[in-house]
Structure 1
Amino acid sequence: MAKITRITTQKKKKDRFNIFLDFGQGESYGFSVSEDILVQEALHKGMELDDASIKALMEKDDIQKSYTLTIHYLSYRMRSEKEIRDYLNKKETDPEQIEVIIDRLYKEKLLDDQEFANALVRSRVHTSSKGPMMVKKDLMEKGVSAAKAEEALTHYPFEAQYEKAMKFAEKKLRSDGKKSFRQQVQNLQQTLIQKGFTNDVVQEVIANLPQSETEDAEWEAVVYQGEKILRKYERKAEGFELKQKVKGALYRKGFQMDEIQRFIEEYIENE
C-alpha cells in the first residue's frame, strides 16, 4: 500500500495535480491527474492506495487526457467516427481507451455519423460546385456508411443540383467561348459528370442552355479557330486543297458545315 503525502498544483497546468506517495521508504512523486479525476475520486492527503488503484487512476487519467484532446479536435467542426479514430490512433492512444472515448462521445451526443453527414452535405451545397456523387464519395472517405450517405443526400435535392450545375455550365461556356458549341457541350457534359452530377441533371442542363446567345458566339469561334487554321496551312497549300484542309480541321473541332462554308467563302474564296 502507498499513502498520499502531498497533492500539488502543476506550475504550467493549473488544472492538473501531482500526487506524491510514500510506499514506506519516504515520499516520492507518484503520478498526476486532472482536476476532474481528483474531485471524482476524492483524492486527499493521507489516503491509502494499492497498486491496482494507482494503475486504474493512471489509466483513467490517460483516457481523460485523450478525451480532452478529442473535445478540442471536435471544437473546430463536427467529425465522423472514423475521423475521431484516426485522430486518436495518430496520438498513439491505446485501442481499448479509444473504444471508451468513442462510447462516451456517443452517449454525450457529441458523435453522430448521420448528423455529421447531413451537415457536410448542407455545407457542400452552399460552398462547393460538387455534385451529389462527389459529395457521397467525400462522405464515404470519411467513414460514413453508404446508407447514411444516401440519407444525407436528401439534403441535396434535384432543384439544388440543377441550379448549381447550370451556374457552373454558364461560367464554363463563357470561358470556352473560342471553341465550337458542340465541343463546349461535350466538354461540359464530361466535366459535370466528373464533378459528380447525375446524368438526369446533366441532360436537363444541356437541354436548357441559352441557345439564343450561342449563335453569334459560334460564328466568332469559327472565325477565331478558322484564322488560326488558315495561318497554319496557307503557306503549304492553296486553292481547293487549302479549303479542304481548313474545312476538315474546323469540322473536327465540332463546327457545323454551314458555318464552316460561310467562313471559307468569306475568308478564302476570293484569295
Structure 2
Amino acid sequence: MIPKISKIEAQKRKGRYNIYLDEKYEFPVSEDVLIKYQLFKGMEIDETLKTELINADTVSKLYARALNYLAHQLRTVAEVREKLSELTDDVNRIDEVVAKLGEQRLLNDQNYADSYVRTIVNEGQKGPGAIRRHLQTKKVANSMIEQAINQYFSTNDQVANGTKVAKQQLKRMKRESTRRSLDKTRQFLYQRGFDSEVIEIIMQAVAPVAIEKNDEAIIMPVAEKYWRKYRAQEPYQRRQKTKQALYRKGFQIDDIETALNQLAVES
C-alpha cells in the first residue's frame, strides 16, 4: 500500500514544514515545495515522489542560501558552488541551483569580471596584472577576464592610473637617489600589476619629474653616515667603501666624487 500524508506540521522556522506519512515523520519541505507539488493531507507519496520531494527541498534550501549569499555583493560561480558545498555534497542539486541563478541573471562570471575591472579602473591603484591574479583566484575563465580588461581598461587608462601611482611612490622616496627611486618605482608598478610596456611609457613621463630632485643636495647626509661608519679604515679603504655604499644607493659617480672630496677636506 502506498503511504499517504497523514499530517503537514509547520516548523518553528518560518516557511518550513514536516511531512508525516501514515502517522510517521518522514521528511521536511519548504513552503515553495509544498506549493509547487500541491501537497495535502491524504495525498499518496510513493518512493519516487518522496525522493523527488527531498531533492526539491534540497534545491530550495540551497537556492535560499545562494540568494542570501548574493544579496551582499556579486559572486562568481565558483564562490557560490563553494558556499553551497557547505550544505551538501550533492553536486547535481548544486548544478541545478547554479543553472537557475544563471537563468535569472543573478549569477554571471562575465558580469562579475566587468564590475571588478570597472572598480579597479575607478580606484586607479592597480594594473591589469593585478586584475588577472584576483579573477583567476575566483576561477573566472581567462577569456572573460581578457574581455573585461579590453573593454573597460584601455591602454590610456592604464597609463593614467600608473602615472598617478608612480608619482605617489616617488613622493615617498624624497631621500632616495634619482636612480634608486626610479628603479623602486618601476618595481612597484610591476607589483601593482602594470604591464612592462605600459611601465616604460609611465617612467618616461615621470622620470623628468624625479630627475628634478637634486642628488647633490641629498647625498651629503648619506655620505657622512658611511664616512663615519668606515672611520676606522685606512684613508683609501675608507674612501672606497664609502664610494661603493653610495653607488649601491643609486648616486651618480660625479656626485659621489664631489661629496667624498668635500668630506676629505673637512676631515
Same fold by TM-score greater than 0.5 = yes
Match of 2:51 in 1: 55
Deviations for 1:209-243, whole angstroms, at most 9, x for unmatched residues? 163564444234312321211111123233x4433
Match of 1:209 in 2: 206
Conservation of the 8 A alpha-carbon contact between 2:182 and 2:210: no
Match of 1:230 in 2: 227
Please state how far the C-alpha of 1:67 moved relative to its aligned partner. 1.3
State the one-letter code of the partner of 2:84.
Answer: L
Q: Report SS of the residue matched to 2:222.
A: helix
Alignment partner of 2:190 out of 187, 190, 193 = 193
In the alignment, structure 2 segments of 5+ residues that lack a partner are: none
State the one-letter code of the partner of 1:189.
Answer: R
- Using the size of structure 1 for normalisation, the TM-score is 0.90
Q: Percent identity?
A: 32
State the one-letter code of the partner of 1:16.
Answer: R
Match of 2:3 in 1: 2
State the one-letter code of the partner of 1:186.
Answer: D
1:40 equivalent to 2:36? Answer yes
State the one-letter code of the partner of 1:59.
Answer: N
1:17-36 paired onto structure 2 within 5 Å: 17-22=17-22, 27-36=23-32
For 1:79 and 1:166, how far apart are their aligned partners in 2? 31
Q: Report SS of the residue matched to 2:206.
A: coil
Conservation of the 8 A alpha-carbon contact between 1:162 and 1:201: yes
Query: What value does the CA root-mean-square deviation take over the aligned residues?
Result: 1.9
Conservation of the 8 A alpha-carbon contact between 1:226 and 1:246: yes
- Using the size of structure 2 for normalisation, the TM-score is 0.91
1:175 equivalent to 2:176? Answer no
Please state how far the C-alpha of 1:131 moved relative to its aligned partner. 1.1
Conservation of the 8 A alpha-carbon contact between 2:170 and 2:210: no
1:9-158 paired onto structure 2 within 5 Å: 9-11=10-12, 13-22=13-22, 27-127=23-123, 129-154=125-150, 155-158=152-155
In the alignment, structure 1 segments of 5+ residues that lack a partner are: none
Deviations for 1:23-43, whole angstroms, at most 9, x for unmatched residues? xxxx12122111111111111
Q: Pick closer, same or farther for the CA change 1:216–1:153 going to 2, 3 Å.
A: closer
For 2:173 and 2:87, how far apart are their aligned partners in 1? 48
For 1:163 and 1:131, how far apart are their aligned partners in 2? 11
Q: Pick closer, same or farther for the CA change 1:46–1:92 going to 2, 3 Å.
A: closer
